[in-house]
């Protein structure tokens, strides 16, 4: 038989067609509906901001790796996701240079300094937002009302833009007034479709839901974190309703979960692979914990919106959660575990008595 | 209801190339067979023939030394050599080389048994032992040891017809064409274990095999043919037990400890040959397939036939082969020498072209996506095991239950970052075992 050059390797000799890049691309595809709604509500500036942010995220990542002589990871698209998400959690009115500073903080400080893809312990986009929020609190909380006016003022932000309250502005949260759109109460439909003020990517609950369902259907994310997160917020805001008179507590609950960045956070931020738990039980705990924090911050905190910080705080707990939620050992029943524990206890006791004697 | 085990993956099946092709005899018998003395778990057999001896098909040529199963000549002819030859495991193995005289003289001891119904359980076990039956699905555990250790302990017999590895159709065709051997063999095993009932578990991508066996069982209540939801690694002993009985075999324990006893479909057919026909295990069905052979086939071939000969029978290589695997793509061994020969557990010779090799990455980066955690059938966290193993932190890797890993490859298959997890775990296990041996 002819001689061929055969390769040998450890099994398995098959691999799933889905690679890291495919997963990242699917996340980007899932973000498209929310981007479309953002542009529709806030005008073309939402799009240019997103493009600038993606571009600079990739540049920072490439530059850092080049500088540090690390393998160039560009092409895995993870920096692009960070770029899109960072703009999605900022108001459309902030200047471009501010976006670029946020990109720098997210990619270089939060992601690359901690080892790059897979080893950062905070969600880069949210950490970038938190940094901008601390540095430029006023521009970061200047909102524009939705409407056609935004389409006229392409490129720069002029005085003609009507600033309006975001649904979860202090008034809405603290004194139980329904969110306002152009001088009137926002309807639930407005909240659901996205005809409200707020950050670029968070306004349209339905667009985010479509993206989330796409990712779950394609197996990119698992349903546990978003379900646990949203359900926790829903249950708490239903039980402890702050609905103004004439508004039922169920309606109030819907305002709470459609408002703010809850859907964006639940489907796209909390499910970030790197900064979420790996164990099934851990994912539930993570979601519930973030949900609790959101309600605490909204109800008792100084910030109008709690999604960003709730996820960042839970990010820090991920390794601890994973450690204590290891899946149960295959084939080991409760009785066996109990017997094992008792045996260990007995051995400890015996050792103690032995040392005393 | 279709039954499931925990976790697992569903790789592309690729079975269409051979699943409709009947089992063929070899077009040309091999001129020489090389029969390794170690085709089973346990100690290698001791050769009882020497160079120049004349042997007949079915004649004993290797006897057990400790745990094992005897080995018989698979062709008639002259012993050409008794020496180490390359083995499918990657290391040279003591082998008996027989030059085929093409006469196919069968040993006079091998003749159909009359009055098989009168055999006692112990007699059946003895026949199975003398016929050299072993597990033919991969591990190669001696069948008689399995039966005798399970007598009185087991309450459930399961026949493993899952064949969950992609590409392989040897068991599928066997169940379709020789269903009566499977049914007959199970009944012998039921008698040996003195149990009134057995399951045959088959994945639902082989419904024609399920129908065929159901038809053969007919109204009899002693055998249940169970269709299983197709998922890898269904054919792993513990996973099959979980799918059929819902029982989980604890780590370090044997299936008999939860009252189960699992036999591969091909093994069961071999038991039938041994008990009813008096023929020891000297040949088996194997699938020669993959994108790098011209004419994928299911062949019945004498043990000791070289891979090169089997590939010739399948029309030779198509284009340039990139990898030849003994066994399936998920757990098989990549071979570098085509003179290695098939043994009792060789159910497949898989030839892959370059396009079908698994995706690899020069710089694999874990993104903590936890897909490995979600597919691991034994509830491990490969992401952390890999992290510790990569840093040679063996004791921590052990705490994360590295030693429970059965190397099924599901985690590596699903890994989007293409991390060579199984290789990492094998290295770590080896190091941990060495460390433990030193103490």
- Give a yes or no: residue B176 inside a domain: yes
| ipTM (interface pTM) | 0.88
- For B157, the 3-state DSSP assignment is strand
Q: pLDDT tens digits for B76-99?
A: 999 999 999 998 888 899 999 999
Q: Which domain holds residue B405?
A: 371-438
CB of B248 within 8 A of CB of B273? no
* CB pair distance less than 8 Å for A1 and B357: no
Radius of gyration of chain B from Cα atoms?
21
* CB pair distance less than 8 Å for B248 and A330: yes
For the four alpha carbons of B144, B145, B148 and B154, in that order, the dihedral sign comes to: negative
What does CATH list as the number for A20-324? 1.10.3430
The verdict on A15 touching B (C-beta cutoff 8 Å) is yes
Tokens standing for A172?
């809405």
Kindly state whether residues B386 and B249 are assigned to the same domain.
Answer: no
* Sequence-distant (≥ 6) Cβ neighbours of residue A146 within 8 angstroms: A41, A42, A181, A182, A194, A195, A196, A197, A203
The answer, yes or no, to whether residue B311 has pLDDT greater than 60, is yes
CB of B143 within 8 A of CB of B130? no
Mutate to test the interface with A, among B10, B340, B367 (most CBs of A within 10 A): B367
* Sequence-distant (≥ 6) Cβ neighbours of residue B41 within 8 angstroms: B67, B134, B139, B140, B141, B142
- Which residue among B276, B302, B335 closes a domain? B276
Mutate to test the interface with B, among A7, A12, A222 (most CBs of B within 10 A): A12
Kindly state whether residues B384 and B242 are assigned to the same domain.
Answer: no
Q: Which residues in chain B are closer than 8 Å to A277, comparing Cβ atoms?
A: 370
* CB pair distance less than 8 Å for A278 and B324: no
Kindly state whether residues B393 and B258 are assigned to the same domain.
Answer: no
Distance CA A20, CA B237 (A): 32
Kindly state whether residues B120 and B246 are assigned to the same domain.
Answer: yes
* CB pair distance less than 8 Å for B417 and A274: no
B56 sits in which H/E element: none
- For B433, the 3-state DSSP assignment is helix
- For B225, the 3-state DSSP assignment is strand
Per residue in B365-394, is it b (16+ CB within 10 Å) or e — as a string? bbbbbbbbbbbbbbbbbbbbbbbbbeeeeb
The verdict on A4 touching B (C-beta cutoff 8 Å) is yes
Kindly state whether residues B252 and B389 are assigned to the same domain.
Answer: no
CB of B65 within 8 A of CB of B318? no
Number of other residues whose CB lies within 10 A of the CB of residue A19: 17
A:B CB pairs within 8 Å: 164
* CA neighbor of A18 nearest in space, from A168, A225, A166, A220: A220
The verdict on A189 touching B (C-beta cutoff 8 Å) is no
Beta bridge partners of residue B263, listed in sequence order = B159
CA B269 to chain A, closest CA, distance in angstroms equals: 28
CB of B406 within 8 A of CB of B382? no
> How does DSSP classify residue B317?
B
DSSP one-letter string for B363-385: S-------HHHHH-TT---HHHH
Is residue A109 exposed (0-12), middle (13-18) or buried (19+ Cβ within 10 Å)? middle
Kindly state whether residues B270 and B388 are assigned to the same domain.
Answer: no
- Give a yes or no: residue B43 inside a domain: no
* CB pair distance less than 8 Å for B374 and A280: yes
* CB pair distance less than 8 Å for B370 and A1: no
Among A12, A76, A117, select the one facing B329 at the smallest CB separation.
A12
What's residue A172's pLDDT?
Answer: 55
Kindly state whether residues B162 and B272 are assigned to the same domain.
Answer: yes
Q: What is the pLDDT along chain A (357 residues), one digit of tens a residue?
A: 567 889 889 999 999 999 999 999 999 999 999 999 999 888 888 999 999 999 999 999 999 999 999 888 767 899 999 999 999 999 988 999 999 999 999 999 999 999 888 899 999 999 999 999 999 988 888 777 776 666 665 444 444 455 555 555 544 554 455 666 656 677 888 888 888 878 889 889 999 999 999 999 999 999 999 999 999 999 999 998 887 777 888 988 888 888 888 999 999 999 999 999 999 999 999 999 999 999 998 888 877 678 999 999 999 999 999 999 999 999 888 888 888 888 888 888 887 776 665
Q: pLDDT tens digits for A242-289?
A: 877 778 889 888 888 888 889 999 999 999 999 999 999 999 999 999
Number of domains in chain B: 2
- Give a yes or no: residue B323 inside a domain: no
CA A296 to chain B, closest CA, distance in angstroms equals: 29
DSSP one-letter string for B386-408: HHHHHTT-HHHHHHTTGGG----
* Sequence-distant (≥ 6) Cβ neighbours of residue A283 within 8 angstroms: A222, A224, A225, A228, A276, A277
Q: Which residues in chain A are closer than 8 Å to B349, comparing Cβ atoms?
A: none
- Which residue among B256, B276, B296 closes a domain? B276
The verdict on A337 touching B (C-beta cutoff 8 Å) is no
- Which residue among B234, B249, B276 closes a domain? B276
């Amino acid at each position: 038989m002819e001689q061929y050059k055969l390769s040998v390797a450890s099994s398995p000799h098959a691999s799933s067609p889905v690679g890291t890049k495919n997963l990242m691309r699917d996340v980007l595809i899932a973000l498209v509906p929310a981007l479309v709604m953002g542009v529709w509500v806030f005008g073309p500036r939402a799009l240019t901001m997103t493009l600038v942010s993606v571009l600079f995220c990739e540049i920072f990542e490439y530059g850092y790796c080049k500088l540090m002589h690390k393998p160039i990871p560009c092409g895995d698209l993870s920096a692009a996701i960070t770029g899109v998400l960072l703009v999605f959690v900022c108001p459309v009115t902030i200047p471009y240079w501010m976006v670029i500073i946020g990109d720098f903080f997210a990619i270089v400080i939060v992601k690359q300094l901690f080892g790059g893809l897979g080893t950062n312990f905070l969600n880069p986009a949210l950490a970038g937002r938190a940094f901008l929020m601390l540095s430029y609190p006023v521009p970061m909380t200047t909102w524009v009302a939705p409407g056609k006016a935004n389409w006229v003022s392409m490129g720069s932000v002029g005085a003609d833009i009507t600033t309006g309250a975001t649904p979860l502005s202090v008034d809405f949260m603290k004194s139980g007034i329904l969110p306002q759109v152009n001088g009137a109460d926002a309807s639930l439909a407005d909240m659901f479709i996205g005809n409200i003020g707020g950050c670029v990517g968070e306004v349209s609950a339905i667009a985010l839901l479509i993206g989330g369902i796409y990712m779950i259907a394609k197996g990119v994310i698992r349903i546990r974190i978003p379900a646990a997160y949203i359900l926790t917020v829903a249950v708490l805001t239903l039980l402890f309703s702050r609905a103004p008179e004439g508004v039922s507590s169920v309606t109030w609950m819907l305002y709470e979960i459609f408002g703010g960045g809850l859907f964006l956070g639940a489907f796209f931020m909390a499910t970030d692979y790197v900064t979420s738990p790996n164990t099934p039980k851990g994912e539930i705990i993570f979601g519930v914990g973030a949900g609790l924090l959101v309600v605490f911050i909204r109800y008792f905190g100084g910030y109008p919106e709690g999604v960003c910080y709730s996820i960042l705080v839970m990010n820090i707990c991920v390794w601890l959660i994973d450690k204590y939620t290891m899946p149960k050992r295959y084939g080991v029943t409760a009785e066996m575990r109990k017997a094992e524990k008792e045996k260990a206890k007995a051995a400890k006791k015996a050792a103690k008595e032995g040392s005393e004697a | 209801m279709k039954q499931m085990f925990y976790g697992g993956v569903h790789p592309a099946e690729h079975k269409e190339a051979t699943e409709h092709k009947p089992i063929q005899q070899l077009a040309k018998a091999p001129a020489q067979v090389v029969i390794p003395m170690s085709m089973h778990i346990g100690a290698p057999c001791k050769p009882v023939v020497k160079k120049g001896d004349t042997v007949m098909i079915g004649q004993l040529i290797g006897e057990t030394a400790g745990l094992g199963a005897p080995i018989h000549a698979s062709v008639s002819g002259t012993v050409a050599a008794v020496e180490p030859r390359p083995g499918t495991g990657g290391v040279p193995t003591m082998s008996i080389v027989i030059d085929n005289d093409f006469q196919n003289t069968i040993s006079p001891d091998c003749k159909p048994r009359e009055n098989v119904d009168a055999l006692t359980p112990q007699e059946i076990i003895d026949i199975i032992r003398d016929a050299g039956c072993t597990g033919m699905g991969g591990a190669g555990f001696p069948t008689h040891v399995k039966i005798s250790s399970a007598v009185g302990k087991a309450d459930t017999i399961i026949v493993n017809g899952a064949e969950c590895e992609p590409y392989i159709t040897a068991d599928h065709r066997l169940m379709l064409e020789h269903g009566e051997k499977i049914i007959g063999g199970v009944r012998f095993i039921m008698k040996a274990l003195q149990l009134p009932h057995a399951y045959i578990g088959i994945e639902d991508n082989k419904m024609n095999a399920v129908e065929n066996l159901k038809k053969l069982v007919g109204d009899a209540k002693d055998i249940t043919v169970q269709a299983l939801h197709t998922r890898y690694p269904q054919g792993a002993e513990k996973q099959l037990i979980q799918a059929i009985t819902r029982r989980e075999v604890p780590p370090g324990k044997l299936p008999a400890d939860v009252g189960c006893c699992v036999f591969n479909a091909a093994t069961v057919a071999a038991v039938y040959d041994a008990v009813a026909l008096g023929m020891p295990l000297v040949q088996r069905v194997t699938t020669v397939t993959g994108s790098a052979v011209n004419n994928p086939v299911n062949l019945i071939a004498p043990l000791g036939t070289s891979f090169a000969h089997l590939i010739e029978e399948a029309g030779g290589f198509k284009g340039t082969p990139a990898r030849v695997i003994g066994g399936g793509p998920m757990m098989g061994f990549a071979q570098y020498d085509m003179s290695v020969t098939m043994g009792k557990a060789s159910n497949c010779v898989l030839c892959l072209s370059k396009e079908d090799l698994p995706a690899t990455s020069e710089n694999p980066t874990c993104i903590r996506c936890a897909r490995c955690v979600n597919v691991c059938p034994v509830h491990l966290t490969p992401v952390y095991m890999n992290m510790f193993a990569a840093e040679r932190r063996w004791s921590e890797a052990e705490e994360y239950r590295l030693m429970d890993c059965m190397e099924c490859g599901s985690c590596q298959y699903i890994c989007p970052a293409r991390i060579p997890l199984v290789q990492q775990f094998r290295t770590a296990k080896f190091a941990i075992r060495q460390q433990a041996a030193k103490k």
